[in-house]
Structure 1
């Protein structure tokens, strides 16, 4: 069952509209492939494809838990995860763009 789901996801990845129209990757390109690699258990490949995926997923999980349990440290940690995610997105995008041409 799990393998069928992974196969279905792999065959139904959406095309990046930004890249289709402008010919260059967008800052979100690689997210789907990275998530699929993570679901397959390929953690390092996932990190290489989209370095911000793990901090983003951690942030979403913590946000959900923080809404329910109101951790005293939750808001501060969410801010750090947000800035880490944004930094990783910007840096990895700059690297991707510089090697694309």
Structure 2
């Protein structure tokens, strides 16, 4: 089942329209490829492609848990993961201009 899902995701993967017209990657470039690599079990490759993927997934999961549980600690976890995600997205984005 996973194999078919991964093949389907690779088949429908779209190139970045922003990169096509602007000539440089957008802040989301690499997300699709990183997610597919994560599904394949290639954690390190996924992190290299898009470092913010795991914190984004953690933020989403923590957010929905927080909606159910509504704890003070959960709120701090969601905020921390959110800001970590933003930091990694921006860092990954700006590395394209420095390199």
Shift of 1:71: 2.5
Equivalent-residue separation in structure 2 for 1:57 and 1:28 (angstroms): 14
Return 5+ residue gaps in structure 1 as ranges: none
Q: Give the TM-score normalised by the residue count of structure 2.
A: 0.94
* Larger CA deviation: 54-63 vs 5-14: 5-14
Q: What residue number does 2:81 align with? A: 81
Q: Deviations over 1:50-84 (max 9, x none)?
A: 00000000000000111011123111111111111
Number of corresponding residues? 99
Say whether residues 1:47 and 2:47 are aligned partners: yes
Kindly state the Cα deviation for residue 16 of structure 1 after the two structures are TM-superposed: 1.1
* Cα distance in structure 2, aligned partners of 1:2 and 1:51: 23
Gaps of 5+ in 2: none
**Number of the residue aligned with 2:17:** 17
Runs (4+) of structure 1 moved beyond 2 Å? Answer: 96-99
TM-score, length basis structure 1: 0.92
- What is aligned with 2:59? 59
Asked if the contact 1:34/1:47 (under 8 Å) is kept, the reply is yes
1:13-68: CA deviation from partner (whole Å, max 9, x where unpaired): 12211111111100100000000000000000000000000000000000011101
Is the Cα contact below 8 Å between 1:25 and 1:97 reproduced in 2?
Answer: no
Which residue matches 1:92? 92
